[in-house]
Chain A
Amino acid sequence: MNSESVRPVVAAQPRAATRSLVEEFKEGLDAPICLTWELTYACNLSCVHCLSSSGRRDPRELTTQECYDLIDEFQRMKVFYVNIGGGEPMLRTDFFDILEYAAAHDVGVKFSTNGTYIDEAAAARLASMDYLDIQISIDGADASVNDLIRGEGSYAAARRAMDNLAAAGFGAFKISVVATRHNIDQLDGFKAIADSYGAQLRLTRLRPSGRAVDSWDELHPTQEQQRQLYYWLLDRPDVLTGDSFFHLSALGDPLPGLNLCGAGRVVCLVDPVGDVYACPFVIHDQFLAGNIRDDGGFSHIWRNSDLFVSLREPESEGACTACEMYDACQGGCMASKFFVGLELTDPDPECVKGAAEPLLEKVGATGSLVPRPSVDRSRPGVPVPSPVRLRKRQRV
């Protein structure tokens, strides 16, 4: 879930034993603590693993005024910060206006970008703004690995953005990497790049969401690589992970973080047209809670939608609740299970005990239909770069 800025709890020793924060979070909060807001489905790149299948702008995108109104609502709800993404959010012509409006209304912003549009002038403007964090994506520590996933020239563009931010004195930005089979051997390389800029490295998990539904099978790290990644992360608590690898905590000592699936509990997504989903990785009708343009707006959806209320109820029993690692691993990521055709009570598809493997084989063998993301804004005719063969499966 992306709560890397979460500090330890400050508890004045209560008289009676209290419930753990994880238990509290499972029942949901008054407002999200990890809200992703994708500003646009437009993107200049066509990355093979794009979680939101971005490419083309949706004509129903929120207007500037609707964006301002939403920020006002975030301020009233005390959503202290939002993670802005897309698509490529800098493609919105009102991008800087939205950032400035948020800063002026006590809503801190971290935005994710591929860096293409951070030229010298943009870097200077960004460096002058308050409450702002920037996250630049690369998926290889060199162009040869990166560009196979993100497209030709994308590595150079991202490095140019980093150079520009550094030259403009922006301070510590973040470098965001999705861990794949192709870059696990480059972890030290990523760390060295981050260190060279005084930047923070952030590694997150590849989920079979968005366009990654067709490449996840061959792009996600192998069991051996998962162990390599786990021990690397344990040694480097300063590397951010957005708490996304908590299924690896079943290997031994827990990784730092809250270690739970926050979907609909402390996490949610507002997409470019105002649809609210339980998490940025489940863009599917089954996880759509409502639209901010409906009566009651965002706060009503967050507090009262049937979907979110049900996600805050105790989990149903399944293979995982009987597993001795359940406290550490919590059964893993709901989105990952969903898009590979598993039940939500099944083990995570990357379960470190291999508990999901027979189930996945069964899904493959019976040729049963697996869910298809409900939004695909890929640009027609634009080839999707990929180091692996894309396997378009029959989906419902």
Chain B
Amino acid sequence: MIELDSRCELNPAVSLRPERFGALVYSFDTRRLSFLKHRDLVRVVEALGTHESVRETLEAESIDTERWPSFLNALTTLVESEMINEL
């Protein structure tokens, strides 16, 4: 489970393609396609690598604290599918 203090980055083998509803995520390593179904999540995922922690990223992207648990869940799923690396 990803915590607020975890440090993460987008896996370098993963590419994002913006779409109306969010983004497509493709891993050239696992050859898996996934979808981010919210634009806020896309911003957070893209910014992860430039911050010291998930908390910092969520703050920097002005995500309401009440939504943080759902973001942690989403990031955990992305770590499990190797789209995001926990550092």
Contact = CB atoms under 8 A, between A and B. Distances in A.
Asked if A pairs with B, the answer is: yes
Interface of A: 3, 5-15, 18-19, 21, 24, 27, 29-31, 33, 78, 80-81, 106, 108, 131, 133
B78 A10 contact: yes
Contacts of B17: 30-31, 78, 80
A33 B31 CA distance: 12
B50 interface: no
Interface of B: 15, 17-21, 24-26, 28, 31-38, 40-41, 44, 67, 70-71, 73-74, 77-78, 81, 83
B19 A10 contact: no
A12 B41 contact: yes
A10 B18 contact: no
A3 B24 CA distance: 13
Contacts of A24: 19-21
Given A24-B20, A29-B19, A10 B41 contact: yes
Contacts of A6: 33-35
B33 A33 contact: yes
Given A12-B71, A14-B37, A78-B26, 18 more contacts: A5-B31, A5-B33, A7-B32, A7-B33, A7-B81, A10-B35, A11-B37, A11-B41, A12-B44, A15-B67, A18-B21, A18-B37, A19-B21, A29-B20, A30-B17, A30-B19, A80-B17, A133-B31
- Of residues B15, B24, B35, B78, which shows the largest number of chain A Cβ atoms within 10 Å of its Cβ? B35
Contacts of B83: 10
B37 A8 contact: no
B20 A11 contact: no
Contacts, number: 89
A11 B83 CA distance: 14
B31 A21 contact: no
Contact of B28 (A8, A29, A31, A131): A131
A201 to B, nearest CB: 17
Nearest to B25: A10
Nearest to A11: B37
Nearest to B63: A12
Contact of B24 (A12, A27, A33): A33
13 contacts: A7-B33, A7-B34, A10-B25, A10-B36, A10-B37, A10-B83, A11-B41, A12-B67, A13-B67, A30-B18, A78-B26, A80-B15, A106-B28
Given A81-B26, A108-B28, A14 B38 contact: yes
Contacts of A12: 38, 40-41, 44, 67, 70-71, 73-74
A15 B74 CA distance: 15
A21 B28 contact: no
- The 4 A-B residue pairs with the shortest CB-CB distance in the complex, in nearest-first order: A13-B70, A80-B26, A11-B37, A7-B34
